[in-house]
Amino acid sequence: MPYASAGEVTLYYESTGEGTPLILHGHGHLNWMIFQVPYFSQFYRVIVFDRRGTGRSDDPPGPWTLADFARDLRGLMDDLGIEQAIVGGNSLGGAISSQFGLDCPDRALALIVGHTAPYRRPLSRQWLEEQIERAERGEPVIVRQPRSFEWEDEGPPTIAEGFETTQVGRYLATLNRDLGNKEAIIKMLRALADWDQRPRYPELQQLDIPVLVIVGGNEPQKTIELSYEWHQQFKNSEFQILPNTHHAAAVENPIGWNKAVHGFLARHNV
Q: Tell me: the pLDDT tens digits for 202-249? A: 999 999 999 999 999 999 999 999 999 999 999 999 999 999 999 999
Residue 101 has pLDDT above 80, yes or no: yes
pLDDT of 62:
86
pLDDT of 224:
98
Specify whether the CB–CB gap between 119 and 195 falls below 8 A.
yes
pLDDT of 1:
61
Residue 179 has pLDDT above 90, yes or no: no
CATH at residue 90:
3.40.50.1820
User: What is the CA 33 to chain-centroid distance, rounded?
Assistant: 14
pLDDT of 176:
83
At residue 137 the predicted structure's pLDDT band, cuts being 50, 70 and 90, is very high
Average pLDDT in the 75-84 region?
98
Total number of domains constituting the chain:
1
Average pLDDT in the 96-109 region?
97
pTM over 0.95: yes
At residue 180 the predicted structure's pLDDT band, cuts being 50, 70 and 90, is confident
Range of the domain at 38: 3-267
Average pLDDT in the 61-75 region?
96
Average pLDDT in the 104-126 region?
97
